[in-house]
Structure 1
Amino acid sequence: MSAITPAGHSEPEQRERILNTVDRVCELCFGLFMALTFVGAVKAATAGEDAGHKLFLTAFGCNLAWGLADAVMYLVRTFADRGQRLKLALTVKQEQDRAVGVRALRDALPAKLRQLVEDTDLERIRARLATLSTLPPRANLVRGDFVGALGIFLLVVLGTFPVALPFLIINDLTAALIASRLLTLAILFTAGFALGRYTGAGAMKAGFAMTALGVLLTVAIIALGG
């Protein structure tokens, strides 16, 4: 799909960053919580000889599966969102009634923005869409989308790899489990810190809040037998 310049001409869409700070932090935290709960759940089942290596392979395999699933869902969301935008653009372009075209654009706005945008603003957008010579007939995934999916896969797998690593290098299963959980909390603090600085909510406050969430989850896992 193309972007519209003030002169009414179309230019190739300038792709935004594949993942912003919020997306990266959320993906990482999802992976960490998943690994934390999974390690707690399988600890008892893998007890015995070579339990550490079994836990490492199990946790790492789970991270691979989660990363793959998340990458695929990223492609699905991207395709669906792009298709929705293209459908709106085609609808507005082909609509002969200006009022109907403006109404379609307004309905596509988030509810909180509808009161801030005047019909005259939407009419200018409708007019620009109407003058576009061509629009793609259907939404497609492009190379950058697959690069983004790969980035998500690597973020989830590599970001949560330290959680599984203690089971490979520490022989004592209990000590490895404690080290794994401490590493998880440290990464969660870092993620919360980054999120708080990005949103202006306070880096340290957000870091400790994310860590507290991890502690509560760990306590729940232990209480449930993990």
Structure 2
Amino acid sequence: MNTATPTQQTTSEKGEPILNTVERVTELCFGLFMALTFVGAVKAVTAGEDAGSKLFFAALGCNLAWGLADAVMYLVRSLADRGQRLTLALTVKREPDRAVAVRALRAALPTALEPLVDDDELELIRARLAAKPTLPPRAHFRRDDFLGALGVFLLVVISTFPVALPFILVRDHTVALVVSRVLTLAMLFTAGFALGRYTGAGAMKAGFAMTLLGIVLTMAIIALGG
């Protein structure tokens, strides 16, 4: 659960990016893995002079489909999360017993934060919620939800191009496959680097970890005949 209070989450979500760094990086990696696995799976069954363009459009079509599915699931998650927060806020606001309301707030805290927040602090949140004149009766989609879904779709689809372009630009399909996989690993390193820097886990460490994950996946694809 997000560490912000129900009051903050149900009344205003200003100042936050539509997609945070973790969401952007994970969606980009998702698109890269999809393209990588798809290219590895179909390369053996494509032949002829137009094999490169077939691979490019096949990988693009695959990521278009998955990008759409992931965007729809982003909308579902956004509405479900907002509904969960609103339900908590309404429960606390309507609960006449202060102790019960405070326990509901405590139960919603992340496990790591629960020992750090005392009942007096939760009582302040309960009081603010109780003092609010109205709260929305149900969760609704917002403009930013659709912008976020569009961002998810574009990240998944755009990640296809660096992986698939070598099959159009390089005539030798074996060389094109090697170039495609090297580009994928380089992009995975960059994504891991950004994620590690954002989370404080160590940029270089996270970059190499993400690259290693890509190598393991590539080896699995080859072992399976890709």
TM-score normalised by the chain length of structure 1: 0.92
Written as runs of structure 1 = structure 2, the 5 A alignment for 1:128-207 is 128-207=128-207
Cα deviation for residue 4 of structure 1 reads: 4.7
The question of 1:219 aligning with 2:201 is answered no
Q: Is 1:85 matched with 2:123?
A: no
Q: Which residue of 2 aligns with 1:121?
A: 121
Q: How far apart are the structure 2 equivalents of 1:30 and 1:55?
A: 19
1:115 is paired with a residue whose SS is helix
Query: What letter matches 2:51 in structure 1?
Result: A
Provide the C-alpha distance between the structure 2 equivalents of 1:14 and 1:106, rounded to a whole number of angstroms.
24
TM-superposed CA distance for 1:47, in Å, is 2.6
Shift of 1:159: 2.4
CA distance in 2, matches of 1:90, 1:200: 35
Q: Which stretches of structure 1, 4 residues or more, deviate above 4 A after TM superposition? A: 2-5
* Distance in 1 (alpha carbons) for counterparts of 2:120 and 2:144: 35
Query: Which TM-score applies when normalising by structure 2?
Result: 0.92
The CA deviation at 1:201 is 2.4
1:74 deviates by 0.7
Counterpart of 1:39 in structure 2: which amino acid? V
Alignment of 1:19-58 (within 5 A): 19-58=19-58
Instruction: Provide the rounded CA distance (Å) in 1 between the counterparts of 2:11 and 2:44.
Output: 58
Q: CA deviation at 1:12?
A: 4.1
Q: Is the 8 A contact 2:6 2:89 kept in 1?
A: no
Single out whichever of 162-171 and 50-59 deviates more from structure 2. 162-171
Aligned counterparts of 2:53 and 2:66: Cα–Cα separation in 1: 20
What is the CA–CA distance in structure 2 between the aligned matches of 1:74 and 1:135, rounded to whole Å? 24
* Structure 1 runs not aligned, ≥5 long: none
Whether 2:14 is the aligned partner of 1:14: answer: yes
TM-aligned CA deviation for residue 200 of structure 1: 2.3
Post-superposition CA distance 1:143-195 (Å, at most 9, x none) = 11101111111111112321111112222211111111111011011111111
Question: Could you tell me how far apart the structure 1 residues matched to 2:97 and 2:6 are?
Answer: 23
2:209 paired residue number: 209
What percent of counterpart residues are identical?
Answer: 74
Q: Secondary structure at the match of 2:92?
A: helix
Query: In the TM superposition, what whole-angstrom CA distance separates every residue of 1:65-99 from its partner, at most 9, and x where no partner exists?
Result: 12111111111000000000011111111111111
- Which is further off, 78-87 or 60-69? 60-69
CA distance in 1, matches of 2:12, 2:55: 48
Is residue 28–residue 160 contact of structure 1 (8 Å, CA) maintained in 2?
no
Contact kept in structure 2, 1:194 and 1:203, CA below 8 Å:
yes
Post-superposition offset of 1:111? 1.6
Task: Single out whichever of 111-120 and 199-208 deviates more from structure 2.
Answer: 199-208
Once the 2 structures are TM-superposed, how far is the Cα of residue 199 of structure 1 from its aligned partner?
2.1
- Comparing 130-139 with 168-177, greater Cα deviation is found at 168-177
Across the two proteins, how many residue pairs are aligned to each other? Answer: 221
Q: CA deviation at 1:15?
A: 4.9
- Indicate the residue corresponding to 1:59 in structure 2: 59
Q: Distance in 2 between matches of 1:41 and 1:127?
A: 58
Shift of 1:218: 0.8
The one-letter code matched in structure 2 to 1:88 is L
2:76 corresponds in structure 1 to: 76
Given residue 58 of structure 1, which amino acid in structure 2 is its aligned partner?
A
